Amino acid sequence: MFSINPFAGLSATLSPSVMQNFVIVMIALVVVGTVIDIVHKGSARYFFENWRRSRSKAKTALGSGEMVSIAVQTVVHDVLTSGEFCNPRRRIAHLLTMYGFIVYVVTTAVLIFAYPTPATPAPAIVSQLWWLGAAMACVGGYWFWFFIRVDVAAEGGAALRLMRADLFILSLLASVTLGLAWAVLQASESAAAMAVFGLYVLATVVLFGSVPWSKFAHMFFKPAAAFEKRVSQANGTRANLPPPADQPLQFGSARQQPNHY
């Protein structure tokens, strides 16, 4: 079963061009949603203002070699290994979800565009990677939701409280889980397969269509912010660090309550 391309079987009732156009629309939703999110939150303006301030107040000039080194450190530490997570459980769950989702999305596009029908059989490894990526995303996502996120109860928060920030992980889990369920039902030729497929499509639309209101766009801006922070630390401006890092602690009305994430 894990070597089966589920989208090829779907071509008997749904034209491959329809599936391909759907993928293109989802990509467009992500692009438009990310632009809307950046404009609405002013993320790009914030980044470039900090970048300009950091360069104008730099105490140490950075050469091209140092900038490349900082870029490599950012990619390896902040992007590829999610080194910003101090909690090892949360870091592993995040990496499972991130890499699983990437593999799942990429192989979905490959299967739909390159091998859309039984007449164009996909290599077994591509189909297996689709199943593996979906499984990894589910393991990481459900691990976070049921065993890590509930820790907020220890900090006074309600474990079952839903916030807008939860929209991304919930829609991602719904989409991937329903995708797996549909693929299993289709492989077993169940009559419920198309009904589950409809829910799968709906959850996928919510996932990619809710970018302006979820944390989806955060993954695109986060590496840029991490790079800017490293540059500001390297050139001596430390522009992105909070005041207590450079100033004496203040008490009384000026004291800020800690933020819990």
pTM above 0.85, yes or no: no
At position 99, the amino acid (one-letter code) is Y
Residue of 137, 133, 198 lying closest to 169 (CA atoms): 137
46 or 110, higher pLDDT: 110
Contact by Cβ (8 Å): 205, 27: no
**N-term to C-term CA, the chain:** 40
Q: What pLDDT was estimated at residue 174? A: 97
Residue 253 confidence class, pLDDT cut points 50, 70, 90: very low
Average pLDDT of 7-20?
90
Which helix (H) or strand (E) segment holds residue 73: the answer is helix 64-73
Q: What percent of the chain has pLDDT over 90?
A: 39
Residue 232 clears pLDDT 70, i.e. is over it: yes
pLDDT digits (tens, 9 = 90+) for 172-204: 999 999 999 999 999 888 889 999 999 999 999
Mean pLDDT of the chain: 81
**How many whole angstroms separate alpha carbon 76 and alpha carbon 74?**
6
For residue 250, give both structure tokens.
């203040």
Most trustworthy range by pLDDT among 5-14, 201-210, 221-230 = 201-210
Place of tokens 């299993």: 184
**How many whole angstroms separate alpha carbon 70 and alpha carbon 113?**
37
